[in-house]
Structure 1
Amino acid sequence: MFDFLYELTGLNFFSYITVRAGFSFFIAFLMTMIAMPRFIAWARAKNANQPIYDLAPQSHQKKGKTPTMGGLVFISATILASLICVRLDNVYAIVSLLGLGLFCMVGFYDDYGKIVGGKNQSGLSARLKMLFLILVAGALCVILYFKSDLGADVYLPFYKNPVINLEIFAIVFWILVIIASANAVNLTDGLDGLATMPSIFSLASLSIFAYLSGNAVLANYLLLPKIAGLGEVVVITAALIGALLGFLWYNCYPAEVFMGDSGSLSLGGFIGLLGVMSKNEILLIIVGFVFVMETLSVILQVGSFKIFKKRIFLMAPIHHHFEMKGWVENKIIIRFWTIALLANLLALTAIKLR
């Protein structure tokens, strides 16, 4: 659409990434704000509610009638807004949109199974879900490796030169990064709005890196990897941030709707994909620190119980541990948001400190 406006008016204004990103942000935000109340009403009428895990803290049992699959709305709004504003001759934009759509489909299939079965365990089995995630991530990574100029170099945070070139094995590395990110966000999505704001912070940080790497002059000045055309994904990330803010209006405590796996797997997968495309696979540990913290708590809990028959935390993921210690839900959410903000501010210093 914006290419048409540029050709029609001759105004260079419509060709700027920052301008199109601004439009995509507000279009996605408004779409989500308008569509979400209607989706919530429909979901309540159809009893499309979030099944609550039996072992979850007692305070969660009252959330059993909260509609789920809100991710369908904000991902759809993101894709529609992006299609209006983004250049579709850009491989990074195409891969990003494919990733959002395909991860959302996997999540929807899982959500639908839970709703129909009436139990949290009724969705996709862990093996089947992992298989689907590997297939989606694998397809995206193959496209990036063979159809883009991304290259196979791996960079460390705060260091200007690549440390290794993985060649064809970069595909395997990228798949692991994307799947780990998808599952980490999925684990974090356990309290009202808990995963939403850290996702916004992560998207904003990675968008800055993508924009700078896509600009040859800025990338050269800041000693960042130069990736021609990567800046175009900022239009999509801006749309997703706008859609997430619209979703947060209804998802903040006490939540009127949950994002479900259709939202959390899409968010996590896209954040991982953005980390891969911006050459920040390792920096994702800082950018997504809250997600890493939640995932590590589960790994440590399971490992400790299997090896020593003892639990480290009262309950995992770690946000449930603090619930069991008596912290009110809103306090946990705000404190985790604060940690996410501080971690992303630290990550952004890697732009200059290299």
Structure 2
Amino acid sequence: MLYYIYQHFGINIFHYISVRAFIGFLTSFLLTIFIMPKFITWAKQKATQPIYELAPKSHQEKVKTPTMGGVVFLGASFFALLLAMKFHFYTFIVILTMILFMSIGFIDDKAKILGNSNHAGLTAKQKFILQWIFAFIIAGLLYFSGFNRELYIPFHKEALFDMGIFAIPFWALVIVATSNSVNLTDGLDGLATVPSIFAFFSLSIILYLMGNVMFSNYLFLPHLNVGELTIFATTLIGALTGFLWYNSHPAEVFMGDSGSLTIGALIGILAIFAKSEFLLIFIAFIPLIESLSVILQVGSFKLRGKRIFKMAPIHHHFELKGWAENKVIVRFWIISFIANLIAIISIKIR
């Protein structure tokens, strides 16, 4: 809306991505801060979190905590995007990603709440199939739009090669992997929220630089028409910051699968637009480690009959070792911050 005000009324300040990015951030933050308490009051009666019976005993006290907060902060983000973002095909792709993956999480959360059990939602297989179907749709649309199919790796400015048609399964894998990784990370108060904020911040910088001819040439980055997606990233930062106000320990609300599955998928799709799929090793370091801990735990138990960790994902391992929940959370935040600094530094290294 603001961009069209600039076009029709000549208010030049709304032409700048940086200005509209800040407006998107502030709008989504304030909306989330304002709406969330009302949602929490309603959800205490209608939508509380079923706790997995094998989770550490300290988690059982969270059984009455409202869930599905992701619907609120993603809704606030969507409204802010309508206000601040200029719409074209790439912005349509990220909004479609948000809608499709939030629908999976919403269906799963609603079933768990109505059934009052973690086993009442979609099965892991059902969620996985839906994620792959939606990811292939998104990747296919992006491929046939003619988007850059070259593959880049961290600390190396030149493209390795053009992926061609193989870009579709690769991009789908990135979206599904990040979606599930953030979902696995969302097990402690604020644990998924802050690393996601860091991830979107790193991606917003890369997208802004790639969308600017002068900056992209100076830094030897591919110049693509992705600058507008900076607004998408900052809007999500604002919404997640507002959500953290209520999600920090002890959490008053959880994001649920409707939030975590969607946030992960959006990190994945923005990384694709930023040609930073492999840079996710740093940008999404904590979700990556959480996923790897589950893969290693399951693989070890099936092959050797032994567990590597006391419990997976790995944040539960540290809880069972005696770390206080808040200590696990803050230490993981610190690690995520450092990893994202490395990701940002890699932009300049050639």
Match runs of 1:182-197 below 5 Å: 182-197=179-194
Q: Distance in 2 between matches of 1:268 and 1:250?
A: 20
Match of 1:120 in 2: 118
The one-letter amino acid of 2:286's match is: V
Counting matched residue pairs gives 350
Match of 2:141 in 1: 143
Q: Distance in 2 between matches of 1:197 and 1:234?
A: 18
The one-letter amino acid of 2:143's match is: Y
Unaligned segments of structure 2, at least 5 residues: none
Q: Distance in 2 between matches of 1:3 and 1:231?
A: 14
Q: CA deviation at 1:126?
A: 1.2
Q: Distance in 1 between matches of 2:321 and 2:56?
A: 11
Q: 1:177 to 1:4 in 2, by over 3 A?
A: closer
Q: CA deviation at 1:143?
A: 1.5
Residue number among 328, 332, 341 corresponding to 2:328 in the alignment: 332
Maintained 8 Å contact 1:202/1:287:
yes
Q: Distance in 2 between matches of 1:62 and 1:6?
A: 51
Secondary structure at 2:63 match in 1: helix
Match of 2:300 in 1: 304
Match of 1:276 in 2: 272
Residue number among 219, 231, 236 corresponding to 1:235 in the alignment: 231
Secondary structure at 1:160 match in 2: strand
- 1:201 counterpart = 2:192: no
The one-letter amino acid of 1:38's match is: K
Q: Distance in 2 between matches of 1:330 and 1:319?
A: 11
Residue number among 199, 212, 218 corresponding to 2:209 in the alignment: 212
Secondary structure at 1:52 match in 2: coil
Match of 2:29 in 1: 29
Q: CA deviation at 1:11?
A: 2.4
% identity of equivalent residues: 53
Give CA-to-partner distance per residue, 1:163-190, whole Å, 9 cap, x none. Answer: 1211011010000011000000000000
- 1:129 counterpart = 2:119: no
Q: CA deviation at 1:12?
A: 1.5
Q: CA deviation at 1:4?
A: 3.4
Instruction: Answer with 115-124 or 170-179: which moved more.
Output: 115-124
Q: Distance in 1 between matches of 2:135 and 2:309?
A: 32
Secondary structure at 1:155 match in 2: strand
Maintained 8 Å contact 1:75/1:101:
no
Q: CA deviation at 1:8?
A: 4.6
Match of 1:258 in 2: 254
Q: Distance in 2 between matches of 1:72 and 1:326?
A: 33
Match of 1:77 in 2: 76
Unaligned segments of structure 1, at least 5 residues: none
Q: CA deviation at 1:128?
A: 1.0
Secondary structure at 1:66 match in 2: coil
| TM-score, normalising length: structure 2 | 0.98
Instruction: Answer with 11-20 or 336-345: which moved more.
Output: 11-20
Secondary structure at 1:282 match in 2: coil
Secondary structure at 1:122 match in 2: coil
Match of 1:344 in 2: 340
Match of 2:241 in 1: 245
Q: Distance in 1 between matches of 2:308 and 2:168?
A: 35
Match of 2:167 in 1: 170
Maintained 8 Å contact 1:155/1:163:
yes
RMSD: 0.9
Over 6 Å off, 4+ runs:
none
The one-letter amino acid of 2:222's match is: P
The one-letter amino acid of 1:77's match is: A
Match of 2:18 in 1: 18
